[in-house]
Amino acid sequence: MEQTVAFWIAAGAATFFVGMSKGGLPMVAMMGVPILSIFIAPAAAAGLLLPMYILADVYAVWLFRGHYSARNLKILIPAAAIGIFVAFLLISRVPVEATKLVVALIGLGYLADALRKRLAGDFAACPADVPRGLFWGALAGFTSYISHAGGPPFQAYTLPQKMPKMTFAGTATITFACINWMKLPPYILAGQVTWDSLQQIAVLAPLALIGAWSGYRVTRWLPERAFFLLVNVALGLLCLKLLVEVGQAWWP
């Protein structure tokens, strides 16, 4: 890989955004792979960023050590492990575009239902129940492994619970930290994480940590209502981005 100045600028920006997403701002996570994909293949970009996610995860888990829903973690993490295992077995048989389409429809379906409830004046919170948690958690692990798009299923399950913003952000951070660690061995076997990428990570690592700290500070500063508005807007944009990618793949 030719390591030009432009590549390092893009890699630095992508790494910083990855860190910010781990600091509690999931809305910026979608920017990492597209930025790097200008210079390298998307699969290679995803492989380069995964160790950055894991590095930022370690710091972010410490930042959110007192803000999380233990019940959700007990449900979602084992469910995600099941989803990752199924995805590992089926990766060669499941079209990535089909997975992206399902994820986009899930996210848009949640947003449409949330809008319907708001217009109807239904502001009741849903509990963290095991059946729904197992389904959405497994789907988050599955889609995260195949197309790095575990956010919409996770949010479809957790946002209706109306947790405080710091609890929501901490639960998301810890859940996806576990998912990323579980994804690492298969990614190494697939050759997406290599010795060369690890050497690049050593250079970019400080930006991931700075990004995580910055994201945490912004999350604490944002008003509750503005935070969740941004989460919902980002979810909608991510779903539209996935639909565009599916359209470009199926109807070039």
pLDDT in tens, 103-134: 888 888 888 888 887 777 767 778 889 999 99
pLDDT at residue 47, rounded to an integer:
67
CB 251 within 8 A of CB 105: no
pTM of the model: 0.81
pLDDT lower than 50: segments of the chain: 1-2
Strand, coil or helix: what is 66? coil
pLDDT of residue 15: 81
Q: Which is nearest to 17 in space by CA: 40, 39, 34, 37?
A: 34
- What does the pLDDT read at residue 232? 81
Per-residue pLDDT at 239: 82
Of 7, 151, 128, 31, the closest CA to residue 71 belongs to 128
pLDDT of residue 101: 85
pLDDT score of 27: 62
Give me the pLDDT at residue 196, please.
67
